């Protein structure tokens, strides 16, 4: 093997990302950096405690510096300056991309996508919300994932009776999959009450529901905590995913600053996923549990129905992509690994993820060939599976 394996002609399915349609088209450098960031937003500094003007300004200044210093942003600006043929600075890149986005946004995104060969997107349709009309705006095949937590929030507000809430939850999930084109379910319970999920008796879940309705439940920023109710409905959704024959994505690992940092390790799910019934549910450990990627890879390697994608890990948290991806490739069966970006707000993040992800995969697989782990032919097939085929099959996308 004289050169790195070349995957530049392999088309890519981004197996986990979010819509960018709500973001303003014209962004200053400052705004572009903030929209690309997973760090706290400025509103984070405005809680119940009222800081002095000086304190508030100091916090805002630090956030602004953080946005601009994020390594993945630096990398994106550098790579975009080549694509846009402009100076390698945040301001120059933001100016040129804004003028193209304002001119003909769809064409600009199309140019980005064709530059990196994006053919499909699996989008979390719950954040931000995605209508059927929105779906037509993307210059790629789009598959929607049904977000359970957003749905539950609506149901909690609109139902007074526990039996009715459960019935509406179940029929809503069935409807989303059977009639509204969602190709899978998604839980972000790692942002709510954490991944140490227990099987809960119906009566205990109902007690939590009654407490929430009467205002006696412990409150959190997202609403009533009600861990037993959330665990109960999480398990119910997993059971339904078996019946409906669709995968369920579970957010694992870090994410934005609302994450429950000590309750997001995918290892916490291990016992539950071995449950007699739940072992038949097809589960995707989204973000492969960064920084606990080896735990996710291990679970995918021993449990038949556990898959993972390495979104967020690349491009946000490991923007050169090698170490973390290597940990995954060394352990997880390659038919269970999917490329994804977790891009949000900006189509350039989908582009960056594809560019970095393809390159990192090539580097890792080339090294594996040199180490004698895979033959060159095998490594070529594995790259194609991870970038395209695995997601195409698992989510039944039928992209040619």
Select the span of 31-39, 131-139, 175-183, 342-350 touching Zn ion (CB under 5 A).
342-350
> What one-character DSSP code corresponds to residue 232?
H
**In the complex with Zn ion, which residue's Cβ is closer, 265 or 342?**
342
Asked if 309 is part of the footprint of Zn ion (rule: CB under 5 A), the reply reads: no
Minimum CB distance to Zn ion, residue 248 (Å): 14
> What one-character DSSP code corresponds to residue 266?
G
Can you tell me the distance from the alpha carbon of 355 to that of 370, in angstroms, rounded to the nearest whole number?
23
Cis peptide before 205 (omega within 30 of 0): no
Minimum CB distance to Zn ion, residue 388 (Å): 20
Asked if 206 is part of the footprint of Zn ion (rule: CB under 5 A), the reply reads: no
Select the span of 41-49, 160-168, 180-188, 336-344 touching Zn ion (CB under 5 A).
336-344
**In the complex with Zn ion, which residue's Cβ is closer, 327 or 342?**
342
Picking from 379, 305, 367, 297, the residue whose alpha carbon sits closest to that of residue 332 is: 297
Alpha helices, DSSP H, located in 162-226? 162-178, 202-213
**In the complex with Zn ion, which residue's Cβ is closer, 206 or 342?**
342
Name the β-bridge partners of 369. Answer: none
How remote is the C-alpha of 50 from its chain's centroid? 34
Select the span of 152-160, 206-214, 335-343, 377-385 touching Zn ion (CB under 5 A).
335-343
Residue showing the smallest CB distance to Zn ion in the complex: 342
Task: Tell the residue number behind the tokens 């393809």, with chain if given.
Answer: 358
Select the span of 111-119, 212-220, 339-347, 359-367 touching Zn ion (CB under 5 A).
339-347
Cα–Cα distance list, 144 to 98, 171, 346 (Å): 27, 18, 18
**In the complex with Zn ion, which residue's Cβ is closer, 35 or 83?**
35
**In the complex with Zn ion, which residue's Cβ is closer, 290 or 388?**
290
Q: What separation, in Å, do the N-terminal and C-terminal C-alpha atoms of the chain show? A: 30
Among 208, 309, 342, 348, binds Zn ion (CB under 5 A): 342
Q: Contact residues for Zn ion (CB under 5 A)?
A: 342
């Amino acid at each position: 093997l004289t050169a790195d394996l070349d995957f530049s002609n392999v088309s890519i399915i981004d197996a986990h990302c979010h819509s960018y349609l709500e973001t303003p088209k014209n962004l200053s450098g400052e705004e572009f950096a903030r929209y690309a960031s997973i760090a706290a937003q400025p509103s984070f500094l405005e809680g119940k405690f009222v800081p002095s003007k000086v304190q508030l300004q100091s916090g805002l200044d630090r956030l602004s510096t953080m946005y601009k210093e994020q390594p993945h942003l630096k990398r994106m600006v550098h790579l975009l300056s080549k694509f846009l043929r402009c100076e390698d600075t945040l301001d120059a890149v933001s100016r040129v991309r804004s003028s193209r986005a304002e001119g003909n946004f769809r064409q600009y995104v199309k140019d980005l996508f064709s530059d990196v060969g994006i053919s499909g997107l699996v989008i979390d349709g719950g954040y931000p919300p995605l209508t059927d009309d929105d779906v037509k705006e993307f210059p790629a095949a789009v598959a929607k994932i049904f977000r359970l937590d957003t749905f539950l929030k609506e149901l909690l507000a609109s139902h007074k009776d526990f039996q009715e809430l459960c019935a509406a939850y179940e029929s809503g999930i069935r409807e989303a999959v059977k009639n509204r084109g969602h190709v899978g379910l998604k839980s972000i319970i790692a942002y709510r009450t954490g991944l140490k999920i227990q099987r809960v008796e119906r009566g205990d879940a109902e007690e939590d529901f009654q407490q929430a309705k009467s205002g006696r439940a412990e409150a959190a920023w997202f609403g009533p905590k009600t861990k037993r109710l959330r665990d109960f409905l999480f398990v119910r959704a997993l059971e339904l995913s078996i019946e409906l024959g669709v995968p369920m994505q579970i957010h694992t690992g870090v994410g934005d600053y609302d994450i429950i940092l000590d309750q997001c390790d995918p290892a916490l799910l291990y016992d539950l996923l071995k449950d007699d019934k739940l072992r038949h549910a097809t589960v995707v450990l989204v973000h492969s549990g960064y920084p606990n990627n080896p735990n996710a890879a291990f679970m995918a390697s021993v449990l038949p129905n556990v898959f993972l994608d390495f979104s967020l890990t690349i491009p946000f948290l490991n923007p050169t992509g090698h170490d973390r991806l290597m940990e995954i490739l060394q352990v997880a069966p390659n038919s269970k690994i999917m490329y994804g970006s977790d891009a949000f707000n900006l189509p350039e993040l989908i582009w960056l993820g594809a560019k970095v992800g393809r390159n990192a995969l090539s580097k890792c697989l080339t090294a594996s060939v040199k180490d004698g782990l895979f033959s060159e032919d095998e490594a070529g097939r594995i790259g194609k599976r991870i970038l395209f085929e695995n997601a195409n099959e698992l989510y039944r996308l039928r992209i040619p």
